[in-house]
């Protein structure tokens, strides 16, 4: 081999190394860009999930408050009915119990 052939071979090798380095740099750049996009998607997904969760919590709290108010209202109505029945029938029930005890 002549000196020019060696120079050409070295130049070719240098060119290939430069191309490889460029491709490696491009791959690293793409990888970093993909990672950044992946983090952005994950962040948006978590943000969306937290927003939905907060909305569900708020809705659940509202339903609990509404349900509690309804339960208290029904309790008061039923309690008043029971008190009324007891007052109306108290003497009759006491008489009935006394009669059954002593018979």
What is the SS3 string spanning 39-81? HHHHHHHHHHHHHHHHHHHHHHHHHHHHHHHHHHHHHHHHHHH
> pTM of the predicted model, to two decimals?
0.51
Per-residue model confidence (pLDDT) at position 1: 63
DSSP helix, strand, coil percent of the chain (3-state; round to 5): 95, 0, 5
Token pair in block for residue 90? 């108290």
pLDDT in tens, 14-54: 999 999 999 999 999 999 999 999 999 999 999 999 999 99
Residue 10: CB atoms within 10 A of its CB come to 10
């Amino acid at each position: 081999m002549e000196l020019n052939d060696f120079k050409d071979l070295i130049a070719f090798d240098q060119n290939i190394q430069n191309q490889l380095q460029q491709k490696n740099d491009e791959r690293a750049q793409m990888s970093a860009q993909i990672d950044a996009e992946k983090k952005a998607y994950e962040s948006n997904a978590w943000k969306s999930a937290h927003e939905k969760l907060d909305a569900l919590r708020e809705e659940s709290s509202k339903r609990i408050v509404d349900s509690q108010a309804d339960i208290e209202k029904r309790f008061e109505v039923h309690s008043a009915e029971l008190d009324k029945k007891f007052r109306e029938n108290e003497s009759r029930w006491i008489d009935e119990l006394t009669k059954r005890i002593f018979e």
